Amino acid sequence: MKVEGQPLHSHFETLQQQENASTLGMWVFIATEVLFFGVIFTAYVYLRWEYPAAVRAGSLHLEIVLGSINTAVLLTSSFIMATAVLMAEAGRRRLASLLAAITAAMGVAFLVIKGTEYSMVIAHGFFPGAGGGPVPGREELFFWLYFLMTGLHALHVFIGVGLLSGVAFFLRRPRGVSVNAVRNIGLYWHFVDLVWVFLFPLLYLASHR
Amino acid sequence: MNHSELTQPVDLPARENDSYLAKHTVRSWLLTTDHKRIAILYLLSILFFFLIAAIAAAIIRIELVTPQEDLIGADMYNRMFTLHGVLMVWFFLIPAAPTVLGNFILPLMLGARDVAFPRLNLLSWYLFITGGMVSLYAILVGGVDTGWTFYTPYSTTFTNGHLVTMVAGVFIAGFSSILSGLNFIITTHKLRAPGLTWFRLPLFVWGLYATSIILVLATPVLAMVLVLIAAERLWGIGIFDPAKGGDPVLFQHLFWFYSHPAVYIMILPGMGVVSELIPCFARKRIFGYKFVAAASVAIAVFSFLVWGHHMFVSSQSVYAGFMFSILSYMVAVPSAIKVFNWTATLYKGSISFDTPMLYALGFIGLFTMGGLTGLFVAAIAVDVHVTDTYFIVAHFHYIMVGGMVLGFMGGLHFWWPKITGRMYPEAIGRLAALVTFIGFNLTFFPQFVMGYLGMPRRYQVYPEEFQFYHILSSAGASILGVGYLLPVIYFIWSLKHGPRAPDNPWSATGLEWTTASPPPVHNFHQIPVVVEEAYQYPVPASPPLEAALPGKSQKGEPL
């Protein structure tokens, strides 16, 4: 395998060993993340189980068009990231850098759309605890979970944008970043994408059968 | 065991400069990425937290000598046992064995030069310290009175303590746990020396691996739960508040989904240590290696399926109670496999009662007591009777102190020569082990009795009929305190005055004993090659350095 970028650390015997270690490290980290999100998904399951009507009613007030656009943006960005990894593996680092930059830009677009959606939901008075808004009964809890789940996800997108910008920048330097690091950050990005694949139907499509 | 006759003729001066302890600057400690130095940073930090938590326990035991309120009031008493619980659980019991013994010994056992991610390792120490400081701040500005379990709705709605700060501290320390666990898993997978296959690994590595799996998969759940109670308390989101459609029992489910496996985070490395000590001091191969190894993994898997046994008296479904009860019984199977295999290893061994061995034997006895009473409380009917009594307090202290602390002390004594290059005074060491064992039993055995008779936990005022047991318990605690203090004193003494340790003072097998004491910065001058399975006891007169080299393979195989 062609290996460029970072040098071998002294406690590893071979570069292959070092790369395998960091890849496995990313997988274990993702396992941790799954359990991290798992708690709040459990809270959602509780709410939906106990108060299905409240979840459906709350879901109707979300901006499903913006949510769908965001889903498309994120899925496409994942595809572009996968291409970036392929290009990096093929040694076409400039093209890979460009693709990583596009992925990062789509992450930013996701965050902008998300922010717009937040402001619209808040403008309609659905921010929980704000008082005065049309938030009857258990719906308030639905909106708390909506903000917690998407907020936590947005934080992950934000971190991902930072990592991808770094990848895009350092791929242009001769020994800036290893192909394996690009692959691992790609893994992280696909994970963030995958979380959204679950969030979107649970939150936005709950009322659409 | 006579140490001098085992000393190898290695030129000491050359070794001294090479040692990982050679540099003395503060910077060389605080910016180190050497797993051995990080282990020592952890050792000092956990001892600091242990000291504070132990002082809280001392205040609690003094208060409980009389049935009335005399030393501290009810509110202060609540804050004291919360302090004791939070610091002991998250800042001593959980990190102690993995981050001190694990950090130091794991790469040495694997024949590696460091853990897989040395900088991440240092970061996790800084996270640990930051978390500890935030929690200490919460204690200094007024403390928390909820108990270490932070049960809702009391914690989220009613308490006047500094809950959010305390929870933030534990949250930060949680990330330290996750990163350590991640590091150990990758190290075990990717940095084993040539020839060191999975079933040649020392059993401490298996224990640590199982622990790390729990650390990585359970701790994030705790982290998110803590976020939820902080959010609930700050903004009243209502997920744990029945008035807003939430459910306080949901908190208990999520909390124990972490906190039950956390018990196994504490005990599994201790079991690993005992699996090292028993073969070494009985001069025999471990009985049923594969079963002991697999039992560690089985315990880790089961640990995720039994959390509901903490909730038999909550509103949990009675059918769920049945399932959790049965699953809890099943944990006894791998645990008993370990105990029986250790016992079988002792059978017909030539046993020497060195200090580490005394701790290991104490571990087996006390862990068995803790485990068997665990079966009592896994039975729903008995548990309903003893829930929230001193019976529970005694049960988990038999596991956590009798099991984990004795295992940790045994390991610390066993590897102290390797860590510092010095021997501790053996006679006082044995005395301290004995004092600890006696003090521990005197402290906690009466608590089984009074708990069964109905003494509830977490009260500082109690009916006079329980005073006898409380006095016994407090007397035992002071003896236990001496048992803890003695090693601190002679360990510090040994740093300057202890005799120099040979590379392999116990004639033990294992790669960590093939390198110098203390080890050189990069652990091994040449990465060892492993050609045989672990615990090839009895070790012949020559040290096991040769045993790890190729060319001797015919002697060790087949098995």
What does the pLDDT read at residue B158?
87
Percent of chain B with pLDDT over 70: 93
pLDDT per residue over A35-88, tens digit each? 999 999 999 999 999 889 889 988 988 889 999 999 999 999 999 999 999 999
Of B189, B245, B527, the CB nearest to A138: B245
What does the pLDDT read at residue B4?
41
| Chain A contact residues (CB < 8 Å to B) | 9-13, 17, 20-22, 24-25, 28-29, 31-33, 35-40, 42-43, 46-47, 50-51, 54, 128-129, 137-138, 140-141, 144-145, 148
Of A22, A36, A54, the CB nearest to B220: A36
Q: Are B307 and B253 in contact (CB under 8 A)?
A: yes
pLDDT per residue over B268-325, tens digit each? 999 999 999 999 999 999 999 999 999 999 999 999 999 999 999 998 899 999 999 9
Which two tokens mark B217? 């998969």
Shortest distance between the Cα of B169 and any Cα of chain A, in A, equals 17
Q: Are B395 and B310 in contact (CB under 8 A)?
A: no
Of B113, B238, B245, the CB nearest to A11: B113
Q: Are B62 and B372 in contact (CB under 8 A)?
A: no
| Chain B contact residues (CB < 8 Å to A) | 112-118, 178, 182, 185-186, 189-191, 216-221, 223-225, 228, 231, 235-239, 244-247, 250, 253-254, 522, 527
Tell me the β-bridge partners of B500. Answer: B422
What does the pLDDT read at residue B540?
63
Quick one: DSSP state of residue B520?
Answer: B
Chain A residues with beta carbon closer than 8 angstroms to that of B236 = 129
**Residues with Cβ within 8 Å of residue B370, at least 6 apart in sequence:** B395, B396, B397, B398, B399, B402, B403
What does the pLDDT read at residue B556?
41
What letters, b where the CB count within 10 A reaches 16 and e where it falls short, cover B327-339?
bbeebbebbebbb
Which value does ipTM take for this structure?
A: 0.91
Is residue B7 scored above 60 in pLDDT? no
What does the pLDDT read at residue B242?
85
pLDDT per residue over B409-458, tens digit each? 999 999 999 999 999 999 999 999 999 999 999 999 999 999 999 999 99
Which two tokens mark B374? 């665990």
Quick one: DSSP state of residue B19?
Answer: B
State the count of interchain CB pairs (< 8 A) between A and B. 103
Shortest distance between the Cα of A95 and any Cα of chain B, in A, equals 30
The model's pTM is: 0.92
Q: What amino acid is encoded at A4 in this protein?
A: E
Spatial separation of the C-alpha atoms in residues B372 and B369, rounded to whole Å: 5
Mean pLDDT of chain A: 89
Is residue A144 scored above 70 in pLDDT? yes
Contact B245 A24 (CB under 8 A): no
Of A20, A25, A140, the CB nearest to B182: A25
Phi then psi for residue B530, to 5 deg, are -100, 130
Best of A22, A35, A141 to mutate (most B CBs within 10 Å, chain B): A35
Best of A39, A126, A195 to mutate (most B CBs within 10 Å, chain B): A39
Is residue A131 scored above 90 in pLDDT? no
**B526: three-class secondary structure by DSSP:** coil
Spatial separation of the C-alpha atoms in residues A141 and B250, rounded to whole Å: 14
Chain B residues with beta carbon closer than 8 angstroms to that of A137 = 245
- Which of A5-9, B79-83, B308-312, B379-383 bottoms out in mean pLDDT, i.e. has the lowest? A5-9
Spatial separation of the C-alpha atoms in residues B124 and B109, rounded to whole Å: 21
Contact B245 A13 (CB under 8 A): no
**Residues with Cβ within 8 Å of residue B184, at least 6 apart in sequence:** B98, B102, B106, B115, B208, B209, B211, B212
Best of B191, B239, B525 to mutate (most A CBs within 10 Å, chain A): B239
The CATH code of the domain at B35-502 is 1.20.210.10
Quick one: DSSP state of residue B35?
Answer: H
- Which of B30-44, B238-252, B329-343, B544-558 bottoms out in mean pLDDT, i.e. has the lowest? B544-558
- Which of B56-70, B96-110, B151-165, B322-336 bottoms out in mean pLDDT, i.e. has the lowest? B151-165
Which two tokens mark B60? 């609690």
Chain B residue closest in CA terms to A46: B250
Spatial separation of the C-alpha atoms in residues A51 and A95, rounded to whole Å: 50
Chain A residue closest in CA terms to B213: A28
Least Cα distance to A140 among B450, B342, B232, B72 occurs for B232
Quick one: DSSP state of residue B511?
Answer: G
DSSP string computed for B358-404 = HHHHHHHHHHHHHHHHHHHHHSHHHHHHHTTBHHHHHHHHIIIIIII
Q: Are B373 and B395 in contact (CB under 8 A)?
A: yes
Of A10, A39, A141, the CB nearest to B221: A39
Cα–Cα distances in angstroms (integers) from residue B434 to residues B134, B325, B406, in the given order = 36, 35, 11
Contact A46 B250 (CB under 8 A): yes
**B203: three-class secondary structure by DSSP:** helix
Which two tokens mark B53? 């938590």
Chain A residues with beta carbon closer than 8 angstroms to that of B224 = 36-40
Instruction: Give the CA angle between residues B45, B116, A90 to the nearest 5°.
Output: 145
Is residue A207 scored above 90 in pLDDT? no
Q: Are A93 and A173 in contact (CB under 8 A)?
A: no
Spatial separation of the C-alpha atoms in residues B89 and B135, rounded to whole Å: 13
**B422: three-class secondary structure by DSSP:** strand
Best of A18, A32, A141, A142 to mutate (most B CBs within 10 Å, chain B): A32
What does the pLDDT read at residue B188?
97
Q: Is B122 left (phi over 0), alpha (psi -120 to 50) or beta?
A: alpha
Is residue B385 scored above 80 in pLDDT? yes
Chain A residue closest in CA terms to B177: A32
- Which of A58-62, A89-93, A198-202, B459-463 bottoms out in mean pLDDT, i.e. has the lowest? A58-62
Domains and CATH numbers, chain A: 15-204 (1.20.120.80)
pLDDT band of residue A13 (cuts 50, 70, 90) is confident
Average pLDDT over residues B388-397: 96
Of B216, B237, B244, the CB nearest to A31: B216
Q: How many C-beta neighbours within 10 Å does residue A131 have?
A: 8
Spatial separation of the C-alpha atoms in residues B444 and B448, rounded to whole Å: 7
**B507: three-class secondary structure by DSSP:** coil
What does the pLDDT read at residue B483?
96
What does the pLDDT read at residue A4?
46
Spatial separation of the C-alpha atoms in residues B307 and B325, rounded to whole Å: 10
Of A11, A43, A51, the CB nearest to B239: A43
Contact A11 B191 (CB under 8 A): yes
Mean pLDDT of chain B: 91
Q: What amino acid is encoded at B23 in this protein?
A: K
pLDDT band of residue A10 (cuts 50, 70, 90) is confident
Spatial separation of the C-alpha atoms in residues B173 and B127, rounded to whole Å: 6
Which two tokens mark B510? 């294992």
pLDDT band of residue A6 (cuts 50, 70, 90) is low
DSSP string computed for A33-102 = HHHHHHHHHHHHHHHHHH-HHHHHHHHHTS-HHHHHHHHHHHHHHHHHHHHHHHHHHTT-HHHHHHHHHH
Which parts of B304-317 fold into alpha helices (H)?
A: none
Q: Are B198 and B118 in contact (CB under 8 A)?
A: no
Chain A residues with beta carbon closer than 8 angstroms to that of B178 = 32
Q: Is B388 left (phi over 0), alpha (psi -120 to 50) or beta?
A: left
Contact B224 A39 (CB under 8 A): yes
Quick one: DSSP state of residue B99?
Answer: I
pLDDT band of residue B12 (cuts 50, 70, 90) is very low
Q: What amino acid is encoded at A191 in this protein?
A: F
Contact B223 A33 (CB under 8 A): no
Is residue A109 scored above 70 in pLDDT? yes
pLDDT per residue over B499-549, tens digit each? 999 999 999 999 999 999 999 999 998 899 999 999 998 876 544 444 444
Chain B residues with beta carbon closer than 8 angstroms to that of A130 = none
Q: How many C-beta neighbours within 10 Å does residue A123 have?
A: 10
